Amino acid sequence: MPPAAATDPQQDNALRLLSIGHYVLAGITALFALFPVIHLLIGVGMLAGLLDGGQAADRLFGLLFIVIALVMITLGLALAAALAWSGRNLARRQRHTACVVVAALACMMMPLGTVLGIFSIVVLMRPGVKDAFVS
């Protein structure tokens, strides 16, 4: 389905730039979300007994490293997926409320996410922008 035409070319350009910004931030977020893979590998090494003699305390810390790393990776990749999905919705002019929610979540990621989130919320709250969205 093609995007609904916005009445103002400036609005159209702003939504296009926000869509690109969401895609870029999604890529950066996905990259940084994979940093805890190092902790995951250390935890696997500790759990397998390859690091520091394989004592019971080392295995417990290894399990802790694995669980925390998996939670961080999962949450980071979920946030990256939400940003990419929001970028797609902005490009297609769909799901206005979902785009606002993801923009608010983006504000947590300083400094780029905060800037993008605030600009997104400001643009999405303009009177004519909601009318440009399909649903």
pTM: 0.82
116 burial type by CB count under 10 A (0-12 exposed, 13-18 middle, 19+ buried): buried
Each residue of 43-89: pLDDT tens digit? 888 888 777 666 777 778 888 999 999 999 999 999 999 999 999 99
Cα–Cα distance between 105 and 109 in angstroms, integer? 8
Cα–Cα distance between 71 and 93 in angstroms, integer? 32
pLDDT number for residue 56: 72
- With a cut of 50, say whether residue 1 has pLDDT above it: no
Cα–Cα distance between 118 and 116 in angstroms, integer? 6
For residue 90, give the nearest of 120, 116, 64 by alpha carbon: 120
